[in-house]
Amino acid sequence: MSKEITDLIKENVIQGRVTADDEGMDEGMVGQPGVNELVERALAEGVRVADIINDGLTAGMSVVGNKFEAKEYYIPDMLASAEAVGSAMEILEPHLSRSGITAKGTILIATVKGDLHDIGKNIVSILLRGSGYIVKDLGNDVEPQAIVEAVKAEKPQFLGLSALLTSTMVHMGETVQALKESGIRDTVKIIVGGAPVSEEFARSIGADGYGADGFQAVAMVESLS
């Protein structure tokens, strides 16, 4: 029974269906339970939270990632699936500590100074939460010094910096430099991403890693853990 319901959760993540009202990729799915209803049912039936996350949510997003890389899915499709996972994680959050699940680590994430774009950042946040990390989102247009203070206060293992504009990429480097000047650069792994960002740029500013999209960002975090 556990596998049956986690398989349904996985399929509905792939379909991008949050609730029974959502259409999904295939026809005729309206009215069938979506991810929210299935997660609630799984909890009521005593399915382990770890199984819901690993076999349902994470497994579903893994398929979505493969489809995105193969260009079978596009950004709106990925967003729908990410929204389903994010909604499910909100339902599961109160159950995480009770189930004995410990977080893999804490990640601060922010869109840098001068940049108001946050779709990519939000996708990465959802995927990381679904992978078992505590994510603290500092928002967008965040000053380097504000990020420094947050790193001091939260003591995260990772810091994710996002920029969508070429003109704001410079503030990623400024943030790394501010962390160095504060003497805490070596306490946190820094990963950067966004449309104009490249692996070469990441190295040039002294970041520890680069993610071309949300899935690569999660893989980079895992590799640095």
pLDDT digit string (tens) for 69-117?
899 998 889 889 988 998 998 898 888 767 666 678 899 999 999 999 8
**Average pLDDT, stretch 205-224?**
90
Q: Which domains does the chain have, with CATH numbers?
A: 2-96 (1.10.1240.10), 106-224 (3.40.50.280)
Phi first, then psi: give them for residue 209, nearest 5 degrees: -165, 170
The reported pLDDT for the residue numbered 1 is: 62
pLDDT digit string (tens) for 156-179?
999 999 999 999 999 999 999 999
The reported pLDDT for the residue numbered 100 is: 66
Rounded alpha-carbon distances, angstroms, from residue 85 to 49, 62, 72, 163, 224: 14, 12, 19, 23, 23
Is pLDDT at 151 greater than 90 in this prediction?
yes
Write the DSSP assignment of 107-153 as a string of letters.
Answer: EEEEEBTT----HHHHHHHHHHHHTT-EEEE--SSB-HHHHHHHHHH
Q: Is the distance from CB of 182 to CB of 152 less than 8 angstroms?
A: yes
Is pLDDT at 134 greater than 90 in this prediction?
no
The reported pLDDT for the residue numbered 94 is: 84
Rg (CA), the chain: 18
Question: Residue 152 and residue 188: Cα distance in Å, rounded?
Answer: 10
The reported pLDDT for the residue numbered 55 is: 92
End-to-end Cα separation, the chain, in angstroms = 33
**Per-residue DSSP letter, 158:** E
